[in-house]
């Protein structure tokens, strides 16, 4: 089994739920699991990974991985919201996977709402993490295509094309297919609300 994994998908692809279920299944089989998350993600609880479907698991909340050392008995390390960590943190996870015989499984976003790869996600690709796409559908009404991108909207429903990408929550985001992203982000469509 590969020892470094990146489970990625758009918002709403059940990434955190997948992590929680994975943690449960490993623990049920007697495997020692440790869960960590970035301190930046304080939406639901500071010391838990919480899914919108109502399941959760305890987690260690960290600003970075500079001084992180897995517990001596840890066999699997699960990392939520990996995009909020840094490339240097990814290198630390590589060291853990390669030198401590721990399976490291990261969950998070690949690209931001400007179609750019998050630095931590890019580093996971560069270091050869095994990639697992977690699929979901485009959130434009009537579209059943695979969601691959995010659109960010202001309070008036207009697409935002610049600014800080490290933002919590999904209330002003939509996960969309490539066609709708190009239509709405690049101004090809009739309006910015997803109607054609």
Q: 53 is written with which tokens?
A: 């479907």
Bridge partners for 5 per DSSP: 105, 130
Active site (annotated) includes residue 47:
no
Q: If we measure between CA atoms, which residue out of 116, 113, 114, 117 comes closest to residue 173?
A: 113
**Which residues, other chains included, contact 152 with Cβ-Cβ below 8 Å and sequence gap of 6+?**
113, 159, 160, 167, 172, 173
**Which residues, other chains included, contact 172 with Cβ-Cβ below 8 Å and sequence gap of 6+?**
152, 153, 154, 155, 160
Q: Write phi, then psi, for 135 (nearest 5 degrees).
A: -90, 150
- Residues 34, 47, 56, 81: which is the catalytic one? 81
Rounded Cα distance between 48 and 31, Å, is 19
Q: Is the dihedral of CA 51, 54, 55, 60 positive or negative?
A: positive
**Which residues, other chains included, contact 54 with Cβ-Cβ below 8 Å and sequence gap of 6+?**
none
- β-strands 33-38, 60-62 pairing: parallel
- Active-site residue set: 81
């Amino acid at each position: 089994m590969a020892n470094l994994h990146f489970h990625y998908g758009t918002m709403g692809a059940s990434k955190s739920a997948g992590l929680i279920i994975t943690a449960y299944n490993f623990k049920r089989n007697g495997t020692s699991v440790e869960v960590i998350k970035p301190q930046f993600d304080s939406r639901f609880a500071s010391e838990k990974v919480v899914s919108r479907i109502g399941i959760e698991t305890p987690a260690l909340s960290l600003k970075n991985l500079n001084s992180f050392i897995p517990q001596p008995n840890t066999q699997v390390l699960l990392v939520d919201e990996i995009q909020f960590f840094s490339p240097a943190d990814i290198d630390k996870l590589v060291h853990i996977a390669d030198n401590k015989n721990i399976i490291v499984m990261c969950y998070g976003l690949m690209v931001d709402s400007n179609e750019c790869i998050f630095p931590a996600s890019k580093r996971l690709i560069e270091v050869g993490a095994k990639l697992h796409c977690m699929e979901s559908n485009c959130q434009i009404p009537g579209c059943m295509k695979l969601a691959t991108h995010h659109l960010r909207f202001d309070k008036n429903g207009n697409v935002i094309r610049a600014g800080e990408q490290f933002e919590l929550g999904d209330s002003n985001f939509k996960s969309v297919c490539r066609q709708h992203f190009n239509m709405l982000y690049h101004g090809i469509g009739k309006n910015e609300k997803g109607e054609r």
